[in-house]
């Protein structure tokens, strides 16, 4: 079975980590396809909130009927519980969950659990 994952990030290092993890899983007989754009038949969306504009992207994704029940994982670089939103100061992680994110973690936390996340 092929897992189809959309990765929305501008972080080359994080993108490379995901691609290497997907390649590693191929050797374990797991097929993981990584896409950079939203399309049909997607199993998982990984969205990088280091780019504050991705919060609006998340909201628009959740409005698409096919994505109302899809798993969306958000990642951020630092582990603080605040996030700058377009000059509005900071807000807690609640803004991600209210916008439709199922899970939020730091990139370091994701790297620890990455293979399991990509497989399931």
For helices 12-27 and 107-119, angle between their N-to-C axes, nearest 10 degrees: 30
pTM: 0.88
Look at the chain and report how many structural domains it folds into.
1
For 97-116, the pLDDT digits (tens) are: 989 999 999 999 999 999 99
The model's confidence at residue 88, banded by pLDDT at 50, 70 and 90, is very low
Q: What is the DSSP letter of 66?
A: G
Domain assignment of residue 98, given as a range: 2-119
Single out the residue of 26, 24, 25, 22 nearest to residue 34, CA to CA.
22
- Whichever domain contains 107, its CATH number is 3.40.50.2300
């Amino acid at each position: 079975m092929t897992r189809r994952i959309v990765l929305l990030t501008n972080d080359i290092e994080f993108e490379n980590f995901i691609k290497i993890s997907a390649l590693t899983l191929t050797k374990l007989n797991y097929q993981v396809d990584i896409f950079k754009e939203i399309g049909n038949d997607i199993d998982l969306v990984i969205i990088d909130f280091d780019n504050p504009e991705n919060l609006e992207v998340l909201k628009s994704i959740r409005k698409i009927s096919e994505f109302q029940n899809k798993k969306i994982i958000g990642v951020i670089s630092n582990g603080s519980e605040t996030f700058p939103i377009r000059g509005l100061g900071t807000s807690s992680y609640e803004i991600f969950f209210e916008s439709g994110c199922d899970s939020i973690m730091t990139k370091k936390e994701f790297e620890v659990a990455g293979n399991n996340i990509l497989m399931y």
